[in-house]
Structure 1
Amino acid sequence: MPNGTLQQHLHHKQHQPLNWGSRLRIALDCARALEFLHEHAIPAVIHRDLKCSNILLDQNFHAKVADLGLAKMGSDRINGQISTRVLGTTGYLAPEYASTGKLTTKSDVYSYGVVLLQLLTGRTPVDTKRPHGEHVLVSWALPRLTDREKVSEMVDPTLKGQYSKKDLIQVAAIAAMCVQPEADYRPLMTDVVQSLVPLVKNLTSVSTSSSSRFQNQTASSPKC
């Protein structure tokens, strides 16, 4: 893909940082991909290895979820459990799957939540070079996601404050639901999509409004 992987843009310095709008659109693209696998494919498909290095970016920074090599077909369209050998990537594995091998679509929802946290913070899922208590992204982030002040302190510094605080709080709330320790408390991916769509639409309307204002100002400026 022309723009490589999400992993490269979040964690490799030689790639350009992603702006807030791109991050929201990538989050929505990934949510829609999982929604299709979980709720429209027959039988349901569990990706089992969603992570930033499996999210490819095209020339317009639209995201494509790739690498279905570990995917499993689900017996139930939403929550049917599959007992399987634990595979996947450390830091992205849902706790119930990592400890028991019981795999459901909600296992993917947890992994998606980790990706969302990476989009928010610019951190990797596991980083032993960070201070004690910050090694595991989910453990560090979860208590902070519902605190408006602490959420702002978590934001990826490469964004340089260029984001909507209102949208940030909403995305943080979605991430908090997705990485809940209890699978039953995690949302369906269709709920995540429905929550993100208005935020992305708002990006477009704000951009259009700004462009219109600029054009009006230009048209009304005195000619030299």
Structure 2
Amino acid sequence: MQNEGIHTASIKRVDKPTGIANILVSDQDNRIIVVPGANHEWEQEMVLEMERIIPQSKVVVFQLEIPVGMVEKALAICKEHNVQAILNPAPTDVFHEGLLQYGALLTPNESEAETIWGAEWKKAIQSFQNQVIVTLGKDGAMYPGESDAVYVTGYPVEVVDTTGAGDTFNGALTYGLSQNWDLSKSIEFANAAASLSVEALGAQTGMPKRAAVDERMTG
């Protein structure tokens, strides 16, 4: 992380191995088996540290690979301090509707949206304007507009490995929002980044640099 210029002062080391994601890739799709390791070694005192760091942040991103109780506490801190929160509700088996009360921007994929809201999820999310973006793979993404769904077109690419595409989308979306871009521009940027990520093997190794994303958007 330091080699990538990422601030690491708030990373806490614990006496557990780093979590492992065993990724099975087949027919341009993947299945991930997670061994959480250090991700589940959260303690109550860490909330005090979050209360110090979160108010200094522009955007805070969450997923559900750490204890959901800790996510909920952190979302509450974001809401209290008017800090933009993004919640990627994966894995969905621990997601519950109480997490929606904190106003975080949810970023499920299609299958996750169906798990949360059912088969009629496209109608259900219309009541969550400015709070839900659903990623659609090669078809891009969509979100509820004032009167109907708004679709942001994806990019046609040769898919090598979809692992990490959602993480790339969320990271790029977060960057856009942290730059005070509007939602539409941020999603377009995230779509371009995710399209690049699926053209290479690996999750982290497939994540593109900013210059590559800009080139895809303009080229």
Same fold (TM over 0.5): no
Higher strand share: 2
The TM-score normalised by the length of structure 1 is: 0.26
Query: Which structure's relative contact order is higher, taking Cα pairs within 8 Å and 6+ residues apart?
Result: 1
Task: Give 1 or 2: higher helix fraction.
Answer: 1
Normalised by the size of structure 2, how large is the TM-score?
0.27
